[in-house]
Amino acid sequence: FSFDPLTMKVDLKLTGAAVHNVELSDSATGNITRIDNAIDAIPDRLAMAKRRLADLHTQVAAAEEELRREFPRADELREKAARLAQLNAELTLQERKQTPKDENNKPESETALQPVSDDAPEFVRSVNF
């Protein structure tokens, strides 16, 4: 038995190889009818579970057979993958040629501090580095 105080429901669990839930009410005869219905539904639920299991076995067998077969367009896939790798390599090389050098890659003479020009504002000229 279980009781939910929020919904004020009492549930009965018939436990065997599987669990069958029955919601109980205030009526004793209604509860007996619900329990009988749950027990009567067990063969139908079992048959449905067996059909589902058989379907799953069929699906597994079909999937295993599909795995054994070679992909029909495997050669084309390999060719296109090789071409894609070649194009990516060319693009990377081309990007390296076109990308200007960043500050970290400049020679030291280009990154050295330059003297402050005479036309710079006074507060800039007064800062000592």
| pTM greater than 0.75 (yes/no) | no
Among 30, 34, 29, which residue's Cα sits nearest to residue 12?
34
Strands of 19-24's sheet, edge to edge?
2-4, 9-15, 19-24
Query: Which residues does residue 21 pair with via DSSP β-bridges, in sequence order?
Result: 13
Q: Which two tokens stand for residue 119?
A: 């036309």
Res. 129 pLDDT band, cuts 50 70 90: very low
Res. 6 pLDDT band, cuts 50 70 90: confident
Give start and end residues of each alpha helix (H) in the chain. Answer: 28-40, 42-68, 74-98, 108-111, 122-125
pLDDT (tens digit per residue) in 7-51:
778 888 888 888 888 888 888 898 899 889 988 998 999 999 999
